[in-house]
Structure 1
Amino acid sequence: MLNVDVLGNKKRKRCVRVFKFKNFGDPGYPVEFNGPFRENVNALLEFANLEANLGLGMTIWSFQLEVHRHPPFHVLFFVIEEPIESSLTPHCKNCQYIGWGRHLICNKKYHFLMPSKETLAACLSCEGLQCDAASPGMNNGKSKLIELQGHMMHGVFHSNGFGHLLCINGLETGSDLAGHQIMEFWDRLCTGLQARKVSLNDLSQKRGMELRLLNGIAYNEPWFGRWGYKFGRGCFSVTQPTYQRAIEAIRSMPLYLIIHHIGTSNLNIPIIFSRYQTLSDPSLVTLGDLFHFMLELKSRLPRESSFGFCNANVLAETNCRWSPKRIEMATRVIVEALRRAEYKWISRQEVRDAARAYIGDTGLLDFVLKSLGNHVVGNYLVRRSLNPVTKVLEYCLEDISTAFPSHEGLIMGNKAKDRFKITRAQLIKDMIYLYKYILIDPKPAPRSEILSAIPLAARIILDTKYLIKDYFCELPFQFELDMEGKLSLYCTIMLRNNTGHEGYLDREMPPYECITLKSSATITDLKLEVERNFKEIYWGLKGFVVESIVNLNANGTDLVFGQIEVGRELVVEGWSSNMGMNMYESDPSNGVVDCTCGTKEDDGERMVSCDICEILQHTRCVRIPNDEEIPHIFLCRRCEQEIVQFPALP
């Protein structure tokens, strides 16, 4: 068991409570979460080990979590409170990238960290988790635990319940936990704390392949989609309908069309297609079918062994009432009938009628036709598919001798088990090949307009990185008069313009907050409680004063319970003495974005500023490669045209 003495305070002795990793965050473990987000965080921290103050007002708590007992394996989970006064900048770039730039800045952030062995060792190398002033990039004692990269998990929450999952690092990056285990822990924690919305930047990869592209094609959703994360915001002005159309375009691409256009110039692709067609019982028709089957097969394959699949061994049926010799004869007759069709699709009835000239037993023919569907006989793959128009089963023959050139003739008995074996390494190699030469960079470039659209659609999917999960819609507060006679209301505020101009600030209202009052509370008590809550949450509302409640005519001494029903949503008008642009997450000093792709806000992609008008545009959109430095002097197209139109000097 690890002794949590992270801050090097060796004199302190205490008993560290250990929690189960797989249950942490569940209802009642370690605490019932019944309030809004910030209250639930405080309730959780009552069970944590208080480590120390990090300097600059930051405090750290720790939990020790038991992953399994035999052999003993524990991980550390930290919560760090970062007040706005301790931040280098009050603005959150993650909020700007996801489109939450119009949110008010919160007074606090909470960092949820699960460090790896390497990052924890790096923290312990700095005494007290504070880096020496001479250390570059540590910013005068700012917590190195927050600054370091490579944590197993790092998420940050604003005190209003909006958060960002900054990183998840699983086994492939050297972590002791799998990525899905960490994500289940994070999702359980967010659900328990009753977070509002959580965003993430999906940069997950496997062997250099972007998972948002692979999983999008195979499962119609990104890898994080299994936990409810959906399209949040696309870079380069990609919209959700465009994103969905791009996924569907690639998923529905027929394999025969790809073979027709690429197979003659790239022989490896039809070989790979045939290899997995032989292993699949249902026919693989589209690119989505193929990638889905390959990912599912990969999840079942042992890491160091091979997968054997006997597709043509209909002779080995132990409970079959026909002899192996009769089955073999019927198989040869059916394959020969399909060969005479010259590799065209023909109906099941046509195949059956052609074989009846040689095999009179219709029961035997029906049995063999059922067994041969999508199986291999000799150098041929017998494909079976349901015609989407006629709803009739059809068969065709596919020559796969190029896929397995070392085997010939009809496969019988147990020899079939040796023919179709695939290792996990071979499957990953095939997947990487298809990923590169079909999705990313098909070579030679396909002449077909349909196939040339695949890399363009893949680019759109890759440009969709920001995902969001709305937790609050799943766990709304239940409003009722509790046993202590308290009632709950939903309240938000509308800020009045106090600059001498009439009207309200052109900003969206903050999210509704749950305000709890005694049943004897008056309207004045309600206003004071709204002031207290919003001052406690938001940095720019320290001077907030409530003036009135919209659509409610009541005196300050009137009882709330008599005027407003439990659970009602209220909008409160007011103003703040320190209102200004700096109270919002969007940083006005970042400049104005107006790119040719349509982007109007910073989306986290590399940008260049025009040296004349100072408008920001994507380097990709102005054709500056990512591997090249931004030029010292850059002019946007509009400014260039205006300079060209200047009259010549005399």
Structure 2
Amino acid sequence: MVVSRPMKRLKRVVAEADTDSDSYSFYKFGDGDRERFQGPFRSNVRSFLESYAEGPLALKISSPPLVQRWKIGFRLDDDNICVALNVVEERVAGEEQQEEQRDLDQDQDQDLHCSHCRLAGWNGNPVCNRRYHFIIQAEAAFNTKCPCCQASFRSSSSRCKVCDYEISKETDLEEESQLALEDSSHLLHGIIHANGFGHLLRVNGREGGSQFLSGCDIMSLWDRICIMLRARKISVMDVSKKYGLEYRLLHAVQKGHPWYGNWGYEFATGSFALTFESYKTAVECLSRTPLISILSGVGKYNGQLKCTVQFYWSLSKKPIVTVQDLICFIMELLHKFHDCAVASKWPVLFSVDAPGESKWTSTEVDQVSSAMLRILQAADRSKWITWRDLKGAMPFSKDPELVDFVLKALEGKVLASRVVQCRRMFSTRTLEYRLEDIGSTAIESDNESVGSTWQSMQECVLEDLKMIYHALLQPLPAAALWHYGLGKQFADASRKLLDCKQFAKDYEAKHPIVMKDFCQIRVIAVAEILDEPKTAERPPPELLVLPQNATVADLKQEIVEAFKDVYICFKWFQVHNIPELQGREDSVNLMFLLGPESVVTVQGCFSGNVSMFRTERGDQIWTVKCSCGASEDDGELMIQCDKCQVWQHTRCVGILDTKGVPQTFICKECNEILSGTSCHSGHNMLGSSSV
């Protein structure tokens, strides 16, 4: 489809904090405008584009039909760096457009139904007329080239910084308009349907290739936009990666919820019929397990793991009691290393404060401390004494916990004219001590004395995190380490957290509209389809905003127009009755009939066959009946029985060989051997996120 030159830029509303007429602050956008959009999403998004965006922009000849694009420029803290948010309106092809494309033999295979809605549990919603894609391309994609000198730059300026050539807004729009909707390199890709239900498909921060934006920066912008536009519910399939690890498992152990939970996303549905209670129980199992019980069991099989855990336990000034404490401490170290990399300075990672409150008397602590100082005094001045050797030199009568407590606070202790120096040897995962003369040039901070760099220490910590993750948190290694009791429980909990991928945020509940304009009448319209069973799902209600002088006739017209504007099938909807307004004249003012925010029901029928557009699941009926309890498609790999037509998870019906690989699939319904020719996985269409 060929589109003419772009329209003249519409009048823009610039936030108070913004002084650049061509871009907005990436980190503040939307903060002051949350109360500006008080209507439903379908109208808010239009006002949003009219107020802030440039467009509609010209599209390439090869662009898909029924698509329009807008662009909003954002600047980062450095004014020379500009990020573009593309907003693509994708109109879903109705019956006429589909026939037209078939007649023209166009190779445009647009997905009519939304697979993301099916997996989120919203497959009963009607098919919407429009979908809005919010996309930030990979940073290499928004490199601007000067037509005069071909210099690349990222700038919101209208002139080239190299040759001072004036950059026209219409320059090279053909090249600028290359935008693929399905691209795993996008830093952000979210979809919101016209009814306000949406899906966050992809977030790629620094580990995903972004040089300037972190995953938190991108998520914060997305969340502010959803709040501002009054999105209803947004789902996300959590397949995020951090340090190459499954972050939904690592972050759940660390914080008790997924990474997206930092912005209010909560458990929605679990694969294999897992419930919220199962999820919380699994989180508690992994997070609250005492380390001492793990070390006593795992130490027999994995001495390296035991040594590594003890090393971080000795580093921390706070008690590390549980698996959660250990993961939190290691992640805290990695964040400090990252902050030091940004600031280009040596990290201050460790303090010499006393390690928390003592359960021993000051006399007991002083006795052990004095004994350690005497041992160091007797040792060779040039020799470093390891944590383990110093602890082993103590009398057996001393409480081991008391000895560890004193060791953590030994650094900086003074004996005569000498002070205890401690160095952290990440290469050997141990702490070493010795006495140095006060004022000696040999006393250096932390690990600089051994020629270490914070980069090498960071690599060691990252290796340890991966080793602990693979040894303790991954289901199969965890089950292999402990053959009984805690081992199986631990492995099952890990598997459950990995099987819980679907999370969602209810924006209507978490960010309700605060009524400020009492000159408006707000009505919630509910559609009731008379010729459908009572058990059938109703379309989501629509918010209507009318002026104070609106009449019954205005309300009837607004109800019809609102549902037609959102859903394809309501083009053929015929209104029969509105019970709340029955017997009322069309000229009656609504203020005499309804309160400031009321609910009305519109009853009617469809005049034609709308089964293709009635629900996001379409007219195809799948029968899911798996031994795990699943009765709906959850996106996991499934196989269909040719005899009874029932879909079941391959994991549940597979018979494993000696290596744990499924070789044969037996239907649990009719005991037939499954051929494996009818398989599907909803996760194939999902891209990964690296935060």
Smaller-chain TM-score bracket: 0.7 to 0.9
1:548 matched to 2:570:
no
Q: What stretches of structure 1 of length at least 5 have no aligned partner?
A: 1-6, 132-142, 315-321, 352-368, 379-399, 498-502, 644-650
**Percent identity of paired positions between Structure 1 and Structure 2:** 29
1:68 matched to 2:77:
yes
Please, which of 605, 611, 614 is the counterpart of residue 581 of structure 1?
A: 611
Partner of 1:39: 43
Report the CA distance shift for 1:540/1:524 in structure 2 as closer, same or farther (over 3 A): same
Partner of 2:194: 159
* TM-score, reference length from structure 1: 0.76
Contact 1:96 1:585 in 2 (8 A): yes
SS of aligned partner of 1:617: strand
SS of aligned partner of 1:638: coil
1:308 CA displacement = 5.4
1:309 CA displacement = 3.4
1:107 matched to 2:135:
no
Alignment partners' CA distance in 2, 1:69 and 1:416? 34
Please, which of 623, 635, 645 is the counterpart of residue 592 of structure 1?
A: 623
SS of aligned partner of 2:71: strand
Q: Deviations over 1:564-618 (max 9, x none)?
A: 1111222222222236432101134363222221111111112222122222222
Report the CA distance shift for 1:147/1:313 in structure 2 as closer, same or farther (over 3 A): closer
Report the CA distance shift for 1:479/1:625 in structure 2 as closer, same or farther (over 3 A): farther
Please, which of 599, 602, 610 is the counterpart of residue 641 of structure 2?
A: 610
Partner of 2:229: 193
1:104 CA displacement = 1.3
Quick one: which amino acid aligns to residue 465 of structure 2?
A: M
Please, which of 452, 461, 477 is the counterpart of residue 497 of structure 2?
A: 461
Alignment partners' CA distance in 2, 1:93 and 1:444? 37
Partner of 1:522: 551
Moved more, 31-40 or 57-66: 31-40
Alignment partners' CA distance in 2, 1:260 and 1:629? 31
Q: Deviations over 1:38-83 (max 9, x none)?
A: 211111211322112545221111122111335x111111111111
Contact 1:540 1:578 in 2 (8 A): no
1:297 matched to 2:350:
no
Partner of 1:509: 538
Please, which of 522, 537, 540 is the counterpart of residue 566 of structure 2?
A: 537
1:144 CA displacement = 5.2
Partner of 2:91: 83
Partner of 1:562: 592
Report the CA distance shift for 1:12/1:531 in structure 2 as closer, same or farther (over 3 A): closer
Alignment partners' CA distance in 2, 1:602 and 1:22? 38
Contact 1:610 1:636 in 2 (8 A): yes
Report the CA distance shift for 1:523/1:408 in structure 2 as closer, same or farther (over 3 A): closer
Partner of 2:458: 424
Q: Deviations over 1:363-390 (max 9, x none)?
A: xxxxxx9x83844689xxxxxxxxxxxx
Quick one: which amino acid aligns to residue 44 of structure 1?
A: F
Report the CA distance shift for 1:119/1:489 in structure 2 as closer, same or farther (over 3 A): same
1:491 CA displacement = 1.6
Q: Deviations over 1:129-153 (max 9, x none)?
A: 799xxxxxxxxxxx85213221011
Partner of 1:438: 472
Quick one: which amino acid aligns to residue 157 of structure 1?
A: I
Moved more, 257-266 or 113-122: 113-122
Quick one: which amino acid aligns to residue 574 of structure 2?
A: V
Please, which of 45, 48, 52 is the counterpart of residue 53 of structure 2?
A: 48
1:279 CA displacement = 1.9
Report the CA distance shift for 1:507/1:412 in structure 2 as closer, same or farther (over 3 A): farther
Contact 2:336 2:349 in 1 (8 A): no
1:559 CA displacement = 3.0
Report the CA distance shift for 1:522/1:374 in structure 2 as closer, same or farther (over 3 A): same
Moved more, 148-157 or 450-459: 450-459
Contact 1:479 1:567 in 2 (8 A): no
Aligned residue runs from structure 1 range 302-381, under 5 A: 302-303=340-341, 309=350, 329=370, 339-341=395-397, 343=399, 372=406, 374-375=408-409
1:438 CA displacement = 1.1
Report the CA distance shift for 1:461/1:336 in structure 2 as closer, same or farther (over 3 A): closer
Contact 2:53 2:70 in 1 (8 A): yes
1:105 CA displacement = 1.1
Alignment partners' CA distance in 1, 2:371 and 2:267? 53
Contact 1:271 1:403 in 2 (8 A): no
Partner of 1:174: 209
Question: What's the RMSD between the two structures over aligned residues?
Answer: 4.1
Report the CA distance shift for 1:606/1:376 in structure 2 as closer, same or farther (over 3 A): farther
Q: What stretches of structure 2 of length at least 5 have no aligned partner?
A: 11-20, 98-108, 145-171, 356-362, 376-390, 413-424, 675-691
1:520 CA displacement = 3.5
Please, which of 620, 634, 640 is the counterpart of residue 671 of structure 2?
A: 640
Contact 2:126 2:539 in 1 (8 A): yes
Alignment partners' CA distance in 2, 1:536 and 1:13? 26
Quick one: which amino acid aligns to residue 221 of structure 1?
A: H
Alignment partners' CA distance in 2, 1:45 and 1:237? 40
1:190 CA displacement = 0.7
1:270 CA displacement = 1.8
SS of aligned partner of 2:625: coil
SS of aligned partner of 1:59: strand
Q: How many residues align?
A: 561
1:278 matched to 2:307:
no
SS of aligned partner of 1:597: coil
Partner of 1:217: 253
1:619 matched to 2:650:
yes
